[in-house]
Structure 1
Amino acid sequence: MEVKFTILGEPKGKGRPRFCRNTGHAITPKDTVNYETLVKTEYGLKYPDFRFPDGTMLDMRIKAFYSIPQSASKKKKAAMLAGEIRPTKKPDMDNVVKIIADSLNQIAYRDDTQIVDCQCRKFYSEHPRVEVIIKSIKPETAEGSMK
């Protein structure tokens, strides 16, 4: 089984929690909460009744498309759109993976520990978005996987 969905808008990364001095409780940044809600909503609209079975090994592929800076020259913009220049800016790709994977806990799968293979790629586009593909994978031997 494979699911594909898109989150429109600028890619976001998982924000670091802030800690309340008085109580010691962690407070998740509002931007993170809002984006996690958007991810859940987009998944739910496309796959309202589908969740991968517990224990299924999953492969997650993420393509994050960032806005082209307005200051980019025509030549640089063309190179960005062709993939010759790719984003080396925040959010870091590990934080993009984290916000997507955490958002889908108990929605697309029981827990993101089921993700055993993952790829995140960053590109520029005139239409910022994040494209997500999650698929179940068959077991393979550790020795055979790197050949």
Structure 2
Amino acid sequence: MIALRFEVQGEPKAKARPRVTRSGIAYTPKNTILYENLVRTSFQQYYPDHIPIDCEVEAIITAYFSIPKSASQRKKELMNFGLISPTKKPDLDNIAKAVLDSLNGIAYKDDSQIVSMWVVKKYSERPRVEVILKEKE
């Protein structure tokens, strides 16, 4: 069974909607391009010689956000233990889209191969996104 695990360091980012110029040309915002490049680079550091898999894939994505400095000590403890989860933006689906779109053609041949997905937002002292891609059983 194939199982690929890797981390993307830093605050989780969402895939932003394409922007359109006054002349009607659509483009991807710079922050989205930079984050997708970070995800690709992170994957390639873990799996430098990876050949894109060609099977059904299950994706597990855990997005860890920084604990707000303004939170009380009690709340910080609860956040650290996973008893309080982030309810702020970005949305789960946009985090998943940023990660999965950036791995298209690198980790797997096409993101249509992803047949199930589990996405979670948590707090942590170390912001990051953990990704597991597994061959669907």
> Normalising by structure 1, what TM-score?
0.90
1:10 aligns with 2:11: yes
TM-score normalised over the length of structure 2: 0.96
Structure 1 segments of 4+ aligned residues over 3 angstroms from their partners: none
Residue 16 of structure 1: SS of its match in structure 2? coil
Residue 101 of structure 1 corresponds to 100
* Corresponding position: 1:85 with 2:112: no
Aligned to 2:32: 32
Q: How far 1:50 sits from its partner (Å)?
A: 1.4
Higher-Rg member (1/2) = 1
| Secondary structure of the structure 1 residue equivalent to 2:44 | helix
The secondary structure found in structure 1 opposite 2:85 is coil
Q: Which residue identity is paired with 2:45?
A: L
| Aligned residue type for 2:10 | G
Distance in 1, matches of 2:81 and 2:131, equals 21
Aligned residue pair count: 136
CA offsets 1:11-58 (integer angstroms, 9 cap, x no match): 000011101221x2211111100000000000011111213433x000
Identity of aligned pairs, percent? 51
Q: Counterpart of 1:125? A: 124
What CA distance in whole angstroms lies between the structure 2 residues aligned with 1:85 and 1:39? 26
